[in-house]
Amino acid sequence: MERMEKLHNIKGLYAITPDERNLSILKSKVESSIKGGAKLVQYRSKILSKNDQKQQAEEIKKICNYYKIPLIINDDIELCSILDADGVHLGENDGNLEKARLILGPAKIVGVSCYNLIDRVQISQDMGATYIALGACFHSATKPNAPIASVDLIASVLKDFQVPLVAIGGITLENIDLIINEGVECCAVINSLFKSRDIEGTAKLFSSLLEKRNYDR
């Protein structure tokens, strides 16, 4: 099935922020990932209060605005609206896509976690998701109990659906080729990127692999 042209270009390295209480360290890590070629950034924190999340997200948004990189807010439609961020990413229990569109409007990015559920992919596409995320593709340290979205499943979704697909979960420089070879154009990464000693260099390696795939396509 031919893939639809979208308002937003969901391709390349998608950097998802790690849990980090120190704002200066977090800002440095995010900027390094962008300098290395990250095309989207998602602000995600599971350890901070709402107020602290807002403070961090405001500062990350300044960096993203400077580099003209979209900032996606994880799990929080209200925070996305308050900050006028570029979009929101919704998990299973984070509010529905219809509500996000009503609050944020038609131009914002709304991504939806679909795990390994084909029915959820279909519903998300039908309701106008900007992209869907499948995973964990491999064992994930961030979500060790996450269901696995097999390479075969990813290939099937790419073939049968038009909505842009983001692969997520346990993706490393060593295994990314397994999903790139199936046609994946965008990969979301946390640990393999932000736990690296050289975040910018690692981002460049991820980006070069994804850009080669997108160039060859």
The whole-number pLDDT of residue 4 equals: 41
What mean pLDDT comes out for the span 173-189?
Answer: 97
Average pLDDT, the chain: 93
CATH number of the structural domain spanning residue 19 = 3.20.20.70
The whole-number pLDDT of residue 144 equals: 86
Full domain range(s) for residue 212: 12-216
The whole-number pLDDT of residue 92 equals: 83
**pLDDT confidence band for 145 (50 / 70 / 90):** confident
Give percent of the chain with pLDDT exceeding 90.
Answer: 87
What mean pLDDT comes out for the span 165-184?
Answer: 97
Residue 201 near residue 192, CB atoms below 8 Å: no
Query: How many C-beta atoms surround the C-beta of residue 93 within 10 A?
Result: 6
What mean pLDDT comes out for the span 134-163?
Answer: 93
Q: Is residue 4 part of a domain?
A: no
Q: Is residue 3 part of a domain?
A: no
Rounded Cα distance between 82 and 60, Å, is 14
Residue 121 near residue 135, CB atoms below 8 Å: no
* pLDDT surpassing 50 at residue 1: no
Q: Is residue 195 part of a domain?
A: yes
Q: Is residue 109 part of a domain?
A: yes
Residues 6+ apart with CB under 8 A from 6: 130, 164
Q: Is residue 80 part of a domain?
A: yes
**pLDDT tens figures, 54-93:** 999 999 999 999 999 999 999 999 999 999 999 999 998 7
Q: Is residue 167 part of a domain?
A: yes
Q: How many domains does the chain divide into? A: 1
Rounded Cα distance between 194 and 155, Å, is 27
Q: Is residue 1 part of a domain?
A: no
The whole-number pLDDT of residue 5 equals: 41
Q: Is residue 2 part of a domain?
A: no
The whole-number pLDDT of residue 146 equals: 86
The whole-number pLDDT of residue 163 equals: 97
**pLDDT tens figures, 5-43:** 457 899 999 999 999 999 999 999 999 999 999 999 999
**pLDDT confidence band for 101 (50 / 70 / 90):** very high
**pLDDT confidence band for 176 (50 / 70 / 90):** very high
Rounded Cα distance between 95 and 97, Å, is 7
The whole-number pLDDT of residue 203 equals: 98
